[in-house]
Amino acid sequence: HAAASHAPVWLTGEPGSGKETAARVIHHAGLRRNLAFVGVDCHGVQPYLIESLLFGHGGLMDSGGVGTVYLKNPAALPRDHQQRLADVFGAEAPGCPRLICGSVRTSAEDVAAGELVPDFHTALS
């Protein structure tokens, strides 16, 4: 059912449980399978690199060639980056990639813990 929609998805599970694999399956069975799948580990990449990768000159958000962006542990991003992503994905602009996130906790739990901006959780709703 998730593949037939463009709605954002939040996958939860323990490390190594296959969240990114599930995200790839959703992407490859979905409507935008002819476009690229991009996975970003938000915990393992410097914030300025994520900013450049997604929003910089020629970044993925402007390329039109990305069908799905998978963010692993988006709560690890700085709050300003989270807000920017919430603004982009919450607007559901034409040509905007689909957002799939993976974490050991739900987005509501990350908001309650103060690690995820509430607008990001709302954009996923």
48-52, 61-65, 80-84, 93-97 — most confident range = 80-84
Q: What does the pLDDT look like over 34-76, one tens digit per residue? A: 999 989 888 878 877 877 887 777 777 777 788 899 999 999 9
Q: What does the pLDDT look like over 8-32, one tens digit per residue? A: 899 999 999 999 999 999 999 998 8
pLDDT at 92: 66
- Long-range CB contacts for residues 23-28, cutoff 8 Å, separation at least 24: 23/68, 23/70, 23/100, 23/102, 24/70, 26/2, 26/68, 26/100, 27/3, 27/67, 27/68, 27/70, 27/98, 27/100
pLDDT at 121: 86
Which residue, among 125, 119, 40, has the nearest Cα to 80 in the 3D structure? Answer: 119
